[in-house]
A and B are shown apart, each in its own frame.
Chain A
């Protein structure tokens, strides 16, 4: 596609449920990053993919968070047993390589009731 695509755009769920967030990067972009933007906070790094491998998972806040990438393209971020503090906008970005600018999707706004 022309840009980074994320789905769903909004997700409301009850505390304790699992959620899956999807990112479809720009075609041909090998580097993929997930970030989280909480109300009043800056963007925080979660995880980096190069191809299908994740050499940097240092930003994942707990073991309830996991992510995978398949076919060097689509990535899924999964949050298990959601908590209210997980409420945030989850943004995905991709770049043709690490030294190039990252381009962001519109994000998924996650609200935990």
Chain B
């Protein structure tokens, strides 16, 4: 059965800290891994990763995929209170119509 596991479940840091969020997966015929940020409502798309070892970067956020070890990390440097959210990892497989299989998320709280 396809599954996605995220760790830690929650994280509390101070502004300026750097955090690393983890996502491991098992999926038949992997196509892509996606990261989303969910504050109060809609999950907001962050990154889509399809190839190993290629870092994707957007401002203070970056992510990388390891298809051999079946995991991805999301890094956030110089955290700000606005980074407080639940970060969701999901994988898609063309074998399964690319519906997304989600982890339960990591809740990040950044305090001033």
Q: Which of A42-50, A62-70, A71-79 contacts B (4 or more CB under 8 A)?
A: A42-50
* B104 adjacent to A99 (CB under 8 Å): no
* B100 adjacent to A59 (CB under 8 Å): no
Q: Once bound together, how far apart are the Cα atoms of A42 and B105, in whole Å?
A: 7
* B34 adjacent to A42 (CB under 8 Å): no
Residues of B within 8 A of A42 (CB): 4, 88, 102-105
Q: Once bound together, how far apart are the Cα atoms of A56 and B92, in whole Å?
A: 14
* A43 adjacent to B45 (CB under 8 Å): no
The verdict on B101 contacting chain A, using a C-beta distance below 8 Å, is: yes
Q: Once bound together, how far apart are the Cα atoms of A91 and B42, in whole Å?
A: 8
Residues of A within 8 A of B44 (CB): 104
Question: Of the candidates A45, A99, A106, which one forms a contact with B42 in the assembled complex, judged by CB atoms under 8 Å apart?
Answer: A106
Q: Once bound together, how far apart are the Cα atoms of A102 and B101, in whole Å?
A: 12
The verdict on A81 contacting chain B, using a C-beta distance below 8 Å, is: no
Question: Of the candidates A45, A99, A106, which one forms a contact with B32 in the assembled complex, judged by CB atoms under 8 Å apart?
Answer: A99
From known contacts A42-B105, A43-B88, infer whether A101 and B99 are also in contact, taking CB-CB under 8 Å.
no
From known contacts A103-B45, A106-B41, infer whether A45 and B98 are also in contact, taking CB-CB under 8 Å.
no
The verdict on A107 contacting chain B, using a C-beta distance below 8 Å, is: yes
- Chain A to chain B contacts (Cβ below 8 Å), 26 pairs: A3-B42, A4-B42, A35-B100, A42-B102, A43-B43, A43-B88, A43-B90, A43-B102, A44-B102, A45-B99, A45-B101, A48-B97, A55-B97, A56-B97, A59-B99, A98-B97, A99-B32, A99-B94, A101-B34, A101-B48, A103-B45, A104-B36, A104-B42, A105-B42, A106-B42, A107-B42
Question: Of the candidates A33, A55, A56, which one forms a contact with B100 in the assembled complex, judged by CB atoms under 8 Å apart?
Answer: A33
Q: How far is the CB of B97 from chain A (nearest CB, A)?
A: 4
Mark interface residues in A30-53 (1 if CB within 8 Å of B CB, else 0). Answer: 010101000001111100100000
Mark interface residues in A77-113 (1 if CB within 8 Å of B CB, else 0). Answer: 0000000000000010100001111111111000000
* A91 adjacent to B97 (CB under 8 Å): no
